[in-house]
Structure 1
């Protein structure tokens, strides 16, 4: 039996931030990981994906500007791009372990499972602690159709040695659209299969523009269809048609990574989406907290929230429940070509809540900022409440992500739209368009 003050399950943003805080306070800390230390975002998610997107973003920019003073095509060397990604990700486990060693955090690798609310077993070693933080995140959802064992998940797609000749992406979320755009720009024939509404959490007027941009890129979209089976290279669909695919990406979502934890033995209440927590990120077992994507907290599954929740949970575990979770508006970005971005409420959600607001879809493709980079799909919608506060901001275009960041800053600090409209920015830049976006 090995005894600690606190044991953390998961080495992503939430788990690491909490473990660091415990160690800095002089506590005896252990951290457990069943994959490679460092978490999903840095190795199999945001960071790794964005490195691969560097190539597709550059190629897309060049191809848009052909005839605008540029000539000659750019091609993507997939293996070289993948190796560049690997150079970044392969260093992370060792860097993470070194940080644990420096802080005196004991690291265990294996599948932990609770024996009680104060004991667990990992790699046949029994560990005991007064407190636990569960930050095991999410894992790809599996499909159960004939041949689905050959489908790739997002982790496996990020390890592909060669770009597939014919790729089918199943699902209507971030991963499906981002990897579809990446592969298409790299030269693949790509099809997206949608069972229902695409990117349903986003402003649907802008999603419609993204679907238009997706098809203009040469990606075939099949709507309201499910996969029935996959045999050889034939993907059979519920609408009676077949699609030829050398690689099939299962991007139907992610589920809480809690199946093997034996949470019932610890008295922790959970559901399909993850572990139920209160405003202090405390589970139904008073000495066990949860943070990050695995916690059903009201926050979306985004890295900035995970790190914040990890620190907040650690504070409450150290000090007693003194700090509650504040649901700040943080942008969500779909890194397609062009980007789709939003922060705050959608128009549909405001209507459901009977909130009065103003705002409409604006075609900004003719504005100088977008004309100069030949961005024909640039659109914006800013929703403003009766109290002059910005309730939601939605963008599609090359500059969408950065515009969402500006509006997130204003919303988090409750800067009225009228004050933001009077703010001067460098011209001509995306920020200098903000005043025009806020006009009545």
Structure 2
């Protein structure tokens, strides 16, 4: 039996960052993966998706500016775009393995299962460790209705050889809206089916604007409905209507990827959404930690948090539980056309907590920054507390993501809104609008 100081399950941002910390300390570490090494974000998530979105973002920008000094349409070559994505993702597993070999991390491929809180088995190989880190992330939630075995998840969508002629996206989260916009701009007929209010974690006034932008793009939205069955090309909905479609994307959410781990044998408490952890990222079993999307840490399931949590978990395993998780305000972005972003708290959350604030929705579509790129849906809402600290910043528009980054920096470093308002930025740029967004 092989013995290690730490065994890590999962090769994404959280797992890798933790592994590197152990190696730096000269400790023995093994890492286990049941898919391709390198994690979801780089291969089947953020990075891969963003490469495809480069095409749709460019096409959308050109079409918005027709008659503004531009003429002539462009089209998306889906296969070429997909190959560009594949060039990037194809190299990741080999690069990841080479890095492990270079620095002395033992790699195992297979389905790991806990035998006890100190032992694990990968296929037929038993391993033992002082500590374990579970960093397996999330997987798409399955639907159990007739025909659902033909539904695609985000994984399969990112491998489509051709853009669908007709596409239905089921769900009201990031993936549903992002892939709906991508496919529509690429030429598909697209319908989004919503069971309830979409993008619940975002500022709802901005979500309403996104729904307007979505419909203006030519995407049909069906509210208050669920998929009941899928036969041939007919998707039956719960509101007694049908939609004819060639491809159905199941984007109804993600659940913790822990089913095969036999966590009960290690005494680890978990639920569908993830593993329960304390402020040190310890699970209910003190020598087993969890980090990244699979950990119910209070952080959103975002890549920047995964890497940070992996490093923190490694520190607390090596040095003992001594460093607590700090929940920092990091932007969340829906990469639609236009983007929707948020950092910090929503107005609804502040009202529920009875926290005093100022700020309201501002229509910035007529501002020079947005007029010149014909961005009719640009809006902003910045919420400021009585102590002059920024409590939340919310944007929709072409420049939304970059604006959110500026406010994230200010919030993380507790820069008062008055100081940010007095800061001079290059003009005319999106940042030069910040002072106007902070006017009482």
Fold conserved between structures, TM > 0.5:
yes
- Residue 155 of structure 1: aligned partner: 155
- Residue 273 of structure 1: aligned partner: 273
1:431 aligns with 2:431: yes
- Residue 390 of structure 2: aligned partner: 390
User: Which 5+ residue runs of structure 1 have no aligned equivalent?
Assistant: none
- Residue 322 of structure 1: aligned partner: 322
Deviation at 1:439, TM superposition (A): 0.1
Take 1:270 and 1:72, find their aligned partners in 2: how far apart are those partners? 55
TM-score by length of 2: 1.00
- Residue 63 of structure 1: aligned partner: 63
- Residue 139 of structure 1: aligned partner: 139
Take 2:304 and 2:254, find their aligned partners in 1: how far apart are those partners? 18
Take 2:27 and 2:244, find their aligned partners in 1: how far apart are those partners? 56
User: Counterparts of 1:43-58 in structure 2 under 5 Å?
Assistant: 43-58=43-58
Deviation at 1:197, TM superposition (A): 0.5
Deviation at 1:23, TM superposition (A): 1.1
User: Which 5+ residue runs of structure 2 have no aligned equivalent?
Assistant: none
- Residue 21 of structure 1: aligned partner: 21
Take 2:164 and 2:271, find their aligned partners in 1: how far apart are those partners? 36
User: Counterparts of 1:246-325 in structure 2 under 5 Å?
Assistant: 246-325=246-325
Alignment check: 8 A CA contact 1:62 1:73 kept: yes
- Residue 174 of structure 1: aligned partner: 174
Cα deviations across residues 89-117 of structure 1 (Å, max 9, x unaligned)? 00000000000001100000011000000
Take 2:184 and 2:258, find their aligned partners in 1: how far apart are those partners? 34
Number of aligned positions between the proteins: 440
1:205 aligns with 2:205: yes
1:334 aligns with 2:334: yes
- Decide which moves more: 298-307 or 19-28: 19-28
Take 1:305 and 1:129, find their aligned partners in 2: how far apart are those partners? 25
Take 1:430 and 1:14, find their aligned partners in 2: how far apart are those partners? 33
Deviation at 1:3, TM superposition (A): 1.1
Cα deviations across residues 266-321 of structure 1 (Å, max 9, x unaligned)? 01111121111000001111111000000000000000000000000000001011
- Residue 40 of structure 2: aligned partner: 40
SS of residue in 1 equivalent to 2:132: strand
- Residue 369 of structure 2: aligned partner: 369
Take 1:437 and 1:247, find their aligned partners in 2: how far apart are those partners? 42
Measured on the aligned residues, the alpha-carbon RMSD in Å equals 0.4
- Residue 413 of structure 1: aligned partner: 413
Cα deviations across residues 51-97 of structure 1 (Å, max 9, x unaligned)? 00000000000000000000000000000000000000000000000
- Residue 241 of structure 2: aligned partner: 241
- Residue 225 of structure 1: aligned partner: 225
Take 1:437 and 1:234, find their aligned partners in 2: how far apart are those partners? 47
Cα deviations across residues 29-69 of structure 1 (Å, max 9, x unaligned)? 10000000000000000000000000000000000000000
Alignment check: 8 A CA contact 1:24 1:103 kept: no
Alignment check: 8 A CA contact 1:139 1:254 kept: yes
SS of residue in 2 equivalent to 1:248: strand
Cα deviations across residues 147-168 of structure 1 (Å, max 9, x unaligned)? 0000000000000000000000
- Residue 122 of structure 1: aligned partner: 122
- Residue 110 of structure 1: aligned partner: 110
**Runs of 4+ with >3 A deviation:** none
Deviation at 1:322, TM superposition (A): 1.1
Cα deviations across residues 383-408 of structure 1 (Å, max 9, x unaligned)? 00000000000000000000000000
